[in-house]
Amino acid sequence: MDQSTRENLMIETRSISKVFQTEAGAVTLFSGLDLQVRPGESLAIVGRSGAGKSTLLSLLAGLDTATEGQVLIEGQEMELLGDEERARLRATKISFIFQSFHLLPELTALDNVRLPLEIRGAESPDKEAAHWLSQVGLEPRLHHYPAQLSGGEQQRVAIARAFATQPRLLFADEPTGNLDEETGARIIDQLFALNQQQDTTLILITHDPELAARCDRRLRLHNGALTEITS
Ligand SMILES: Nc1ncnc2c1ncn2[C@@H]1O[C@H](COP(=O)(O)OP(=O)(O)OP(=O)(O)O)[C@@H](O)[C@H]1O
Ligand SMILES: [Mg+2]
């Protein structure tokens, strides 16, 4: 791949590995992973529980660092950025829907969604936050705190928060894992609407074959290696 193509990639990893030091010794989760994602692409990552999918997603989003190798976002090497620059990149371009939601417990649903909008200097963060929460069917729950919401409702607040800032790059860790079929289908449609209308690059972890099938590409993480699923 030539230099200009590389600069046009949304994400590139160069031989990344992740090793955890545990009391029982070093555990290598994966090594030598090379991945290239084009802007506007949708990519599903599948694999068994414990394969390292969530860990890989954190590395790709610059939330964690690889033991070896490099992660580049739009040609910028994450390791070379200072903490502040990395935080700015994340705040302006990236949204992340965590497997465990990571909502702020002391803020209502509305305030959880409003906060990143305020950080980005949105014109009317209140109105926009309410709009995105209604998009995921939560207008009756705007003023509830996370502890007063069901698991699926918390997941939808996390999804509204991720959508609200209209990111260039959206990472989602099993975004429909807690939703019934109908609600899940609606959320999936919204994910792909963002992908198509705003050219948002999607990188999703999912156990849902239908969601994986709608992505441009599917990769399996197994025994520390990533392989393309062609069927
Ligand atoms: N900080 C850590 N120290 C040691 N081991 C860790 C650490 N974080 C994760 N692991 C281990 O790495 C492995 C992969 O974890 P990860 O959360 O990435 O899996 P996953 O593929 O997302 O699984 P699931 O589908 O269950 O969410 C697990 O066996 C986990 O115990
Ligand atoms: Mg996981």
Q: What is the mean pLDDT of residues 118-139?
A: 95
CA angle 94, 97, 99 (to 5 degrees): 140
pLDDT of 6 higher than 90: no
Evaluated on CA atoms 131, 136, 139, 144, the torsion sign reads negative
Is the pLDDT at 230 greater than 90? The verdict is: no
Residue 171: Cβ-neighbour burial (10 angstroms; 0-12, 13-18, 19+): buried
Q: How confident is the model at residue 9 (pLDDT cuts 50, 70, 90)?
A: very high
Query: Considering every ligand atom, which ligand is closest to the CA of 51?
Result: 1
Task: Give the CATH number of domain 3-225.
Answer: 3.40.50.300
Q: Is the pTM of this model over 0.85?
A: yes
How many angstroms separate the alpha carbon of residue 112 from the centre of ligand 2? 23
The tokens for 3 are 């230099």
Note whether 73 and 150 are within 8 A (CB): no
The whole-angstrom separation of Cα 162 and Cα 113 is 8
Which residue minimizes the CA distance to atom 25 of ligand 1? 49
**From ligand 2's centre to the CA of 37, what distance in Å?**
20
Render pLDDT for 10-24 as a digit per residue (tens, 0 to 9). 999 999 999 999 999
CB contact at 8 A, 73 and 169: yes
Q: What's residue 8's pLDDT?
A: 87
Over residues 222-229, mean pLDDT: 95
| Mean pLDDT on 158-171 | 95
208-220 exposure pattern, b = at least 16 Cβ within 10 A, e = fewer: beebbebbeebbb
Q: Can you tell me the distance from the alpha carbon of 17 to that of 66, in angstroms, rounded to the nearest whole number?
A: 6
